[in-house]
Structure 1
Amino acid sequence: MAAERTAKRRRLSPPSEAVPGFAQWNIEQDYESRPRKDKKDKKSDKLLVKTAEGWKENERLKKVVLEEDDADSFLASDDDAGDSGVADVESRSPAKSVLPPKEQIRQAKEELARVAGNISENPEENVGQLGVLAELAKSGNVTVKKLALGTMLAVYKDIIPGYRVRPQSKEDMAAKVSKEVRKLRDFEHGLLTGYKEYVKMLGKLVGDKEMVAVAIACTTALLTAVPHFNCRNDLIAIVVKKLGSRGISAEARKCAEALEQLFRDDEEGHASLEAVSQLTKTMKSKNYQVHENVLNTFLHLRLLDEFAHKASTNRIDRENRHGDDEPARKVSKKERVFRTKRERKVMKERKVVAKELQEADAVVSYEDRDKNQAETLKLVFVAYFRILKARVQHLMGAVLEGLAKYSHLINQEFFGDVLEVLKDLIQEAEAALMPDDDEDEDEEDEMEIDAAAERNVTREALLCVITAFALLQGQVDVAKSAAGLSLDLQFFITHLYRTLLPLALNTDIELSAKSAHLLDPNGLATPTAKDTKVNVATTTVLLLRSLHSVLLPPTATKAVPPVRIAAFAKQLMTSSLHLPQKSTIAVLGLLREVTKTHSGKVAALWNTEERRGNGVFDAKGGAVESSNPFAATVWEGELLKLHFDPRIREGVKAVEGNVVIKHER
């Protein structure tokens, strides 16, 4: 048998008596006598100084270093001072270093780039870093603040979802949900909280002169990029507030362009209804003393005209799944995915359910859209009629332009009232052009009508004529029964006939209402075009639009009598002798269309052997029917054939060619 192994014993430390002299050691005294590292022995990295005794350290620099070390010590105190140690430390602590502006901007750029990159890379995990961007936006440096606002704009446009976030209630926060749902809710809550603070910040910065441009740029960008998201009313309120002044600035023009784009892109009508509601309330509170660009935004609304066009009767438009250019092709049997009979049945049932849900959603969206657009149209017409009633002169062009565009949407019950208002406007325009004979001759210079004012009232009357005919043409049912109305368009036709000759002598007929007449150092008028979109047509264009409505109406209205066509044709040929070159070419083009359509009714004017009336033609007569046009001949064409412009000579030949050819046939 093997010998048993003995257990190992742990070696114990020898007793204290084993070390001779241990008891006689004085440990504290030995520690006290050790050499210590004094502050005075602090190694200096300064250059040595050559002295008579050799190379040594600079005593002056060494003294400065020691004083700084003593000042930094919390134990250092001033014996002469009676304050406490804390106060002494505060008084002796060095001033906090301030970075130069360029360094602040550089560091801010790096921080903004880092935080924006983290948020864009993983929004759900790093949504809390939006607070870092908000803190940088509160910086005292204006450049850093602008960079932070621009960065926040780019980040929010990138991470905002395509739906509206519903604010969470206390019950939602306390409910037990899955980990994924809780993560999504936390992201939405953090995003909505930061976005609200950002919009509120933009609203405050609009009043700052240094930050107004950046704030308006961010607001308009958010309004046009994410109009479906929360805080849309707040963004619209910022834009509308900027438009609530009589003057127009670069920021206000940008706000108007943002509203126009919002109206064009809005399909459901919710955003348009909110914007129009706030605009009309603001204009009413300002007593309609706003710039006309605010009212011109209504011309970009999508009001009940989504399905104005008709579908084709001979073909069916199908959606091409393979793209617009690539033709659709049939799928071969090899490319088809094999499915069992049960799977095909389930897919068929799912398609039926999806189609029903899609139709139900479409019906609801169409109903909501029609309701929103109807409310929007009501607000627009109420604003137009109030402006007409208040006679806001600088908004008349925009109002009449809007009424002419949306004339087919006006209710038949208001048709007579609108024509009555237009008639009053024309009478006021005529009264403004009439001189007052009761004043003394010494004040004749002060009583002369200003050229710009005369042009404005003339344009206003022409716009009324255009609007009246647009209202009549837009209402087919009203046009058929126009004779039964108490008001007739004869008043507008007569006024247009009386203004033909005065307009021919107007030197500003080829200028628009937006052409400012400024005097140069030589005293000459120089037109300067302004940046606007509505009411910029020249007086010649307005005149041609009015004449086209009178002489070439659509088929829905009644036929034009020959006397009216002959009277206007004679007056237009006479006016062509005095009109400028471009206006004469345009008038001859209109006469070419008139003679091509109504050659049989006006052929006698170009033939002296076929007189239909006796007496004398009254060119200055007020009424069209009593002017006796067939007693005259169109002799002005012979003079226009000698015009220096070859286009005018060709235009006269074309007019006479239509009359002669049709008359011979």
Structure 2
Amino acid sequence: EGEASGGEGSEGEITAVQLLAARRDRLAHDKLRIGALCSSLLESPEKKLKNLYPILYLMEERLKDDTLNLCSVRKLATLSACEVFRDILPEYSIRHQDYSNVKLKKDTLALYKYEKELLEFYKRYLQRLEKSATLLRQKKGDTRKLEDATLSLSLVSLRCMCSMLVSRPHFNYATNIAQSVVPFLACRDQRARDIVTESCTQVFAEDNKGDITLTIVRLINQLVKRRGERLHPSALDCLLTLKIRDVDMDAETDIKHKKRQDEKHKKRIVNLSKKEKKRAKKLKEVERELMETQAQESEAARRKQLTEVTRTVFHIYFRLLKTAPGSKLLAAALNGLAKFTHVINLEYYSDLVGILRQLLVSESVGAREKL
């Protein structure tokens, strides 16, 4: 009997070893396959774009035979696809146009088809990332604990979404990515919050146009509205890195006023000056001033986005001062105001002073915040 039981144990042990060996072999096989597909694709994206089919397929939870895919394989496919897209996606946004009734040159048609297919693959990739990452955002009352492998894959998916946002902030679906990742600032998992904070910080630092920065700040504003006091204070950390040190919120109004004054001055000179030489000299001088004003106006247009970002940030901080004086978010709001208070225009000052006065006498505010 002892020998029989020993034989059964030995047989069970061999089976476990075989399973581990099979898993290892499968992982090695898929690793080589993904590597070969990516390498071939990067060498000739236009010809080998369809290599993305099997790569995206290996991101799926279940394979065609309904067996579970290995988490390690899914993670590898996810990261590999991210590197591929970072390499082959253009910097410009691809426009959706219908050329079915338009006769195009052969090269132009080939480029159009390639970009259309590339965009479709990218969309599918982002959808898979979002599906995987969403597991991190458990609903209220959901106390289920994710398996380590699933949790790791979800974090990788979130990191890849953020990576694409940082590397292609002006490409198609950048706004969609921002809409997907910003809510993770309210995630219970600090690692998820840190990933998003880091990416937002990088976007803010590198964004020269201001469009995606404004989008992200508005999304954070919406998050603050929805979550209120339940939001973790670290969700606001990225706002402190915004480039709004030199914003003059009154400058835009001043420039417009000056332009109107210059134009009035020009009309008055044309109508009132009698001597031709004197009039020409004055006109030339006023036109020069007008051109300078227009140059300032152009600069103001470029800074308009940043000004709107600043206003939205102050709305966030003011809302927290009014609605969450007893929460940990108060310190975050006060830190933000302390950093950016020098760019607040006059319309905000009286309101700010009034709120701060109320906070000083409030019993719900801690001694540290009052200081």
Query: Which residue identity is paired with 1:222?
Result: M
User: What is the rounded CA distance, in whole Å, between the counterparts of 1:285 and 1:379 in structure 2?
Assistant: 15
Query: Which AA in structure 1 matches 2:79?
Result: G
Normalised by the length of structure 2, the TM-score is: 0.71
Letter in 2 for 1:384: Y
Verify the 8 A CA contact 1:168 1:189 in the aligned structure 2.
no
The yes-or-no answer on 1:277 pairing with 2:206 is no
Residues matched between the structures, number: 284
CA distance in 1, matches of 2:96, 2:167: 21
In the alignment, the residues of structure 1 paired with residue 118 and residue 201 of structure 2 have an alpha-carbon distance, to the nearest angstrom, of: 28
Distance 2:219 2:243 in 1: 17
Whether the aligned pair in 2 keeps the contact of 1:268 and 1:365 (CA below 8 Å) is no
Aligned to 2:236: 295
Q: CA deviation at 1:248?
A: 4.8
Indicate whether 1:201 and 2:128 are aligned: yes
Identify the residue that residue 136 of structure 1 maps to in structure 2: 58
Instruction: Tell me by how many angstroms 1:288 deviates.
Output: 4.0
Specify the SS of the correspondent of 1:243. Answer: helix
Matching residue's letter, 1:389: K
* 1:179 paired to 2:106: yes
Which residue identity is paired with 1:383?
A: I
Query: In 2, are the aligned partners of 1:165 and 1:230 still within 8 Å (CA)?
Result: yes
| Cα distance in 1 for residues equivalent to 2:26 and 2:301 | 51
- 370, 377, 380: which one aligns with 2:310: 377
Residues 141-198 of structure 1, C-alpha deviation per residue, up to 9 Å, x if partnerless? 21111110011011001101121111232xx233211111112111111111000111
Do the aligned partners of 1:304 and 1:370 also contact (CA within 8 Å) in 2? no
Q: How does 1:356-367 map to 2 (within 5 A)?
A: 366-367=299-300
What displacement does 1:296 show? 2.0
1:452-498 per-position Cα deviation (integer Å, ceiling 9, x unaligned): xxxx8221111xxxxxxxxxxxxxxxxxxxxxxxxxxxxxxxxxxxx
Counterpart of 2:29 in structure 1 is 107
Q: Secondary structure of the equivalent of 2:172? A: coil
Q: Which residue of structure 2 aligns with residue 460 of structure 1?
A: 369
Contact residue 268 and residue 368 of structure 1 kept, 8 A: no
CA distance in 2, matches of 1:259, 1:200: 20
Match of 1:422 among 342, 356, 363: 356
| Alpha-carbon spacing, 1:421–1:205, altered in 2? closer, same or farther (3 Å) | same
1:189-234 deviations in Å (ceiling 9; x for gaps): 1111000111111110013441211111211211212212111122
- Residues 54-113 of structure 1 show CA distances to partners (whole Å, capped at 9, x for unaligned) of xxxxxxxxxxxxxxxxxxxxxxxxxxxxxxxxxxxxxxxxxxxxx922222111112111
Q: 1:411 to 1:136 in 2, by over 3 A?
A: same
Question: Contact 2:247 / 2:343 at 8 angstroms: preserved in 1?
Answer: no
Gaps of 5+ in 2: 1-20, 64-68, 136-145, 249-294
Report the alpha carbon displacement of residue 244 of structure 1 after superposing the two structures with TM. 2.3
Rounded to whole Å, the distance in 1 between the matches of 2:319 and 2:41 is 50
Alpha-carbon distance between aligned partners in 1 of 2:326 and 2:109, rounded to the nearest angstrom: 57
Q: Which of 302, 310, 322 is 1:389 aligned to?
A: 322
CA contact (8 A) 1:267 1:369 kept: no
Q: Equivalent residue for 1:404? A: 338
How far apart are 1:371 and its partner, in Å? Answer: 2.0
TM-superposed CA distance for 1:130, in Å, is: 1.4
- CA distance in structure 1 between the aligned counterparts of 2:352 and 2:195, rounded to whole angstroms: 33
Q: CA RMSD in A?
A: 2.5
Amino acid at match of 1:122: S
Q: In the TM superposition, what whole-angstrom CA distance separates every residue of 1:568-597 from its partner, at most 9, and x where no partner exists?
A: xxxxxxxxxxxxxxxxxxxxxxxxxxxxxx
Q: Specify whether residues 198 and 175 from structure 1 end up closer, same or farther in structure 2 by C-alpha distance, changes over 3 A only.
A: same
Higher relative contact order (CA 8 A, sep 6+): 2
Describe how 1:240-279 pairs up with structure 2 within 5 A: 240-245=182-187, 247-279=188-220
Task: Find the aligned partners of 1:365 and 1:124 in 2 and give their Cα distance.
Answer: 40
Residues 142-153 of structure 1 correspond to what in structure 2 (within 5 A)? 142-153=71-82
Q: Which amino acid aligns with 2:313?
A: V
Deviation at 1:370, TM superposition (A): 1.8
CA contact (8 A) 2:320 2:329 kept: yes
1:276 touches 1:379 (CA, 8 Å); kept in 2? yes
- The Cα shift of 1:287 comes to 2.4
Residue identity opposite 1:200 in structure 2: Q
Indicate the structure with greater helix content. 2
User: Which structure has the larger Rg?
Assistant: 1
- Judged with a 3 Å threshold, the aligned counterparts in structure 2 of structure 1 residues 423 and 241 are, in CA distance, closer, same or farther, namely same
Q: Is 1:217–2:159 an aligned residue pair?
A: yes
- Provide the rounded CA distance (Å) in 1 between the counterparts of 2:192 and 2:100: 41
Letter in 1 for 2:115: E
Runs of 5+ consecutive residues of structure 1 not aligned to the other structure: 1-98, 308-361, 433-455, 463-665
2:128 is paired with a residue whose SS is helix
Provide closer, same or farther for how the CA distance between residues 151 and 416 of structure 1 changes in structure 2, counting only shifts above 3 A.
Answer: same
8 Å CA contact retained: 1:269, 1:372:
yes
Report the TM-score, using the length of structure 1 for normalisation.
0.41
CA contact (8 A) 2:229 2:327 kept: no
